């Protein structure tokens, strides 16, 4: 019998948390044979709601769920954590400038990074979901100098999955027929979903689509603005799909990408594709045995280059802003 894996989820009482926790307990994060302990981190006023969710988790009698602990202290919640899903963040509210947003999130992600540094297990893997996800991951990473930088990642898997779904709809294929989708850059409206390396049932996606105007004017904006379209339709932001993407991100990281395929993760740049070193930017990555590698050697055409550069420039500006706020 396996030792349970400790999974810490922040923002556990929020809407993504509610969609995420039951699926983690069902084995969708790590696998159907991996028992888990859940550690829920919330702010003090939301502890009661987190307790309510924990009661429901008990009531579901998940065979893989071996324990639930709830805390408002990051040092407790990250103690011994093997996987950390940083979902709780400070949303932008009306009248908030970017600097205010970044400092408010610095106030969350800096201490959480330090708590991970001081208390998490040696094999800790971190996924930042809370926005601005890439820069929040940068802040947490900077506060955790003893943890290898590559363990801090941010989520662009929802964008990746959205891009696959849109391309499948357009070309009338199953989502499973689409391989090698790539999201580059920031999880923001500047992100670049790239189909030039994607394959549809083994054929080059760009040739199957053969419509650059559709790519530029429909596909890219639909994927990049999907979050806003969901809010408009549901009256609330993406939750179950975001939770599903978070599960996919960690499951792929731990269990590997399929031969001939890759996924998208925002990871610390090693300078690949001209993305400045140290930025946490989305790349095509393959994973194996719990580690990932940025896919090398892809030809980047002019159409893609301009869009990758624009998103990376935004990440550099965010990095400058958090530097000047002393958050990194």
Q: Return residues touching ligand NAX (CB under 6 A).
A: 10-11, 13-17, 41-43, 46, 87-89, 91, 108, 129-131, 133, 155, 158, 187, 227, 237-239, 242
Question: Min. distance of Cβ 244 from ligand NAX in angstroms?
Answer: 11
Nearest distance from C-beta of residue 113 to ligand NAX, angstroms: 12
Minimum separation from the CB atom of position 149 to ligand NAX (A): 19
- Please report how close the Cβ of residue 93 comes to ligand NAX at its closest, in angstroms: 11
CB 118 within 8 A of CB 84: no
State which residue, 7 or 208, has the beta carbon closest to ligand NAX. Answer: 7
Estimate to the nearest angstrom the gap between the alpha carbon of 241 and the chain centroid.
12
Alpha-carbon torsion 143, 151, 284, 254, what sign?
negative
Instruction: List the catalytic residue out of 187, 197, 249, 251.
Output: 187
Nearer Cβ to ligand NAX (1/93)? 93
**Toward ligand NAX, which CB reaches closer, 87 or 195?**
87
Q: In angstroms, what is the minimal distance from the CB of 232 to ligand NAX?
A: 14
Q: Which is nearer to ligand NAX, 16 or 247 (CB)?
A: 16
| Residue 131 or 269 with smaller CB distance to ligand NAX | 131
- What is d(CA 83, CA 150) in angstroms, rounded to the nearest whole number? 13
3-class secondary structure for the chain?
A: CCCCEEEEEECCCCHHHHHHHHHHHCCCCCCCCCCEEEEEECCHHHHHHHHHHHHHHHHCCCCCEEEEEEECCHHHHCCCCCEEEECCCCCCCCCCCHHHHHHHHHHHHHHHHHHHHHHCCCCCEEEECCCCHHHHHHHHHHCCCCCCHHHEEECCHHHHHHHHHHHHHHHCCCHHHEECCEEEECCCCCCEEECCCCEECCEEHHHHHCCHHHHHHHHHHHHHCHHHHHHHHHCCCCCHHHHHHHHHHHHHHHHCCCCCCCEEEEEECCCHHHCCCCCEEEEEEEEECCEEEECCCCCCCHHHHHHHHHHHHHHHHHHHHHHHCCCC
Nearer to ligand NAX, 79 or 199 (CB): 79
Closest approach of Cβ 257 to ligand NAX, in Å? Answer: 19
The minimum distance between CB 285 and ligand NAX, in angstroms, equals 16
Q: How many CA atoms lie within 13 A of 182 on its CB side?
A: 27
- Residue closer to ligand NAX (CB basis): 89 or 208: 89
Tell me the residue number closest to ligand NAX, measured at CB: 14
Are 46 and 13 in contact, with CB atoms under 8 Å apart?
yes
Our answer to whether residue 251 is catalytic in this structure is no
Q: Among all residues, which ones are annotated catalytic?
A: 187
């Amino acid at each position: 019998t396996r030792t349970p894996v400790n999974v810490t989820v922040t923002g556990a009482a929020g809407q993504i948390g509610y969609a995420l926790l039951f699926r983690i307990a069902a084995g969708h994060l790590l696998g159907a044979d991996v028992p888990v302990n859940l550690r829920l981190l919330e702010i003090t006023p939301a502890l009661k709601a987190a307790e309510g969710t924990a009661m429901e988790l008990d009531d579901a009698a998940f065979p893989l769920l071996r324990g639930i602990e709830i805390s408002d202290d990051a040092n407790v919640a990250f103690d011994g954590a093997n996987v950390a899903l940083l979902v709780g963040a400070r949303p932008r509210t009306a009248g908030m400038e970017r600097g205010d947003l970044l400092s408010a999130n610095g106030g969350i992600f800096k201490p959480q990074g330090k708590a991970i540094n001081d208390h998490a297990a040696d094999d800790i893997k971190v996924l930042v979901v809370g926005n601005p996800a890439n820069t929040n991951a940068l802040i947490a990473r900077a506060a955790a100098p003893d943890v290898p930088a590559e363990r801090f990642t941010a989520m662009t898997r929802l964008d990746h999955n959205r891009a696959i779904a849109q391309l499948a709809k357009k070309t009338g294929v199953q989502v499973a027929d689409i391989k090698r989708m790539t999201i580059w850059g920031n999880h923001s409206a500047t992100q670049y979903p790239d189909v030039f390396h994607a394959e549809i049932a083994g054929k080059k996606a760009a040739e199957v689509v053969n419509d650059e105007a559709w790519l530029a004017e429909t596909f890219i904006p639909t994927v990049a603005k999907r979050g806003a379209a969901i809010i408009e339709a549901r009256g609330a932001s993406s939750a179950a799909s975001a939770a599903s993407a978070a599960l996919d991100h960690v499951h792929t990281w731990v269990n590997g990408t399929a031969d001939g395929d890759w996924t998208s993760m925002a990871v610390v740049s090693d300078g690949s594709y001209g993305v400045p070193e140290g930025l946490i930017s989305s790349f095509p990555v393959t994973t194996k045995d719990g580690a990932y590698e940025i896919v090398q050697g892809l030809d980047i055409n002019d159409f893609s280059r301009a869009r990758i550069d624009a998103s990376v420039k935004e990440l550099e500006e965010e990095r400058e802003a958090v530097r000047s706020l002393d958050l990194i």
